[in-house]
Structure 1
């Protein structure tokens, strides 16, 4: 990996990137990678201060990390389950740095339980945050992107979106999670077909198993799965590569992080 540093004259110089779910884990890593290429980053999540979540990591931590390395960053605390909060997020992001050039829909709320036990409230909350919020945020930023004939939307999915195949082994209660990710992927390819001619790229990055606080709380890394753990740098690099991609050459992709980098002949950059 190359040395980690902020390049203010990088390939994303002057671009404004809005990243959701950015208080920790994959979202924080994406913020770092985009900032390294000169993007002005707006980080958003529900956790701004220590003590607001049972998980480690805050928006303050993310923004402090970027600024300490010489990056340009602000945060906007927002609950993406609320339409008014999504609208306020885009308004405040644009007030801080200007129109959004890159939208990364990473935020998620997830419950793992069998369908027979799934409550309506939890189902609707997962659909709102993981499917409708990316849809609505895209609606909010697309008019500006289309007017400028330039923009990129990257949605973060999961291999859970792939259909299970027999012989069935039983599951961990991930049916609703997989449903959300499959819907997000279909939204991505559909939107890509709508806006390619307008100069906007819309893609998916599907991470492998990554050691993040969210993964830890669900107990997804164990003796049986630890060999599949993927460095977080792979996901951040894949998002960056798609965020700067020419929509005429690369849009509508459902890209798995490591295979995408192999296809492009790249190694992930170390993160600030």
Structure 2
């Protein structure tokens, strides 16, 4: 099928499930040659077989800088220069700041932030030389607000907003576009696991945004537009925008109220 990405090479990380899988399907449906990157070789091969011609599975751990460099080199060799890089791979763990371990913190940052950094570093020289390309980072609405019990996740997703802003300055005038997409709750296995952990806020899995809608937003962001893009249902986007128009102290009160049951349970468990 031809489309707006016909003949282009698109690299998607975290492509074996969830938002990444939806992105792979979307870009492939738009005519792109899609490089699929994730740690699970079996899942990637199944996705590549589903998508057919032009899809290549490249198992890799994007938390490893050497793996990231290998991925960019392999994609360029097998599919040609990278037109769009979608850094979506990430992990979500629920944790209070008092409970974060060193290993958990490092894994979250190396996966959620490090992979995006190392892939961009390896892809940018080619994009800069050609004078075109797009880098889309997948953050979260929890990269814009701090929420209790999402310590390591919020910190790493906030970092992606900063990374996108830095890249937007460094790549200004080069022809390379940069965007960071911030989805709300998305109907994925990860969200189901998140809710199984315990009390939370936002739309439950059965009412959450479809990953296909986020994939469409990511593809549109790669074509140009705002640096920071919210991906959520229209009513929730309006509410989020309204909340950010408020003074910070009011925004913090709203967020705290949304998690009051969780915080009350936490205090009870600690005997406070």
TM-score in terms of structure 2 length? 0.79
Per-residue deviation at 1:223?
10
Residue by residue, what CA displacement relative to the aligned partner does 1:25-53 show, whole Å, maximum 9, x if unpaired?
1100001111111111000000111xxxx
Alpha-carbon distance between aligned partners in 2 of 1:181 and 1:153, rounded to the nearest angstrom: 16
**Higher RCO (C-alpha under 8 Å, 6+ residues apart):** 1
> Among residues 135, 140, 160, which one is paired with 2:142 in the alignment?
160
Structure 2 matches for 1:1-272, cutoff 5 A? 6-7=1-2, 10-49=3-42, 58-67=43-52, 71-164=53-146, 171=148, 173-219=149-195, 225-226=203-204, 228-245=207-224, 250-258=225-233
Name the Cα RMSD after superposition. Answer: 2.2
Number of corresponding residues: 233
Residue by residue, what CA displacement relative to the aligned partner does 1:169-194 show, whole Å, maximum 9, x if unpaired?
x83x2021111111101110221122
The runs of 5 or more residues in structure 2 that have no matched partner are 239-272
Alpha-carbon distance between aligned partners in 2 of 1:217 and 1:156, rounded to the nearest angstrom: 19
Partner of 1:55: none
TM-score in terms of structure 1 length? 0.79
| Larger relative helix fraction | 2
Larger radius of gyration: 2
Alpha-carbon distance between aligned partners in 1 of 2:92 and 2:188, rounded to the nearest angstrom: 14
The runs of 5 or more residues in structure 1 that have no matched partner are 1-5, 50-57, 165-169, 264-272
Alpha-carbon distance between aligned partners in 2 of 1:223 and 1:242, rounded to the nearest angstrom: 29
Tell me, yes or no, if the aligned pair for 1:209 and 1:229 is still in contact at 8 Å: yes
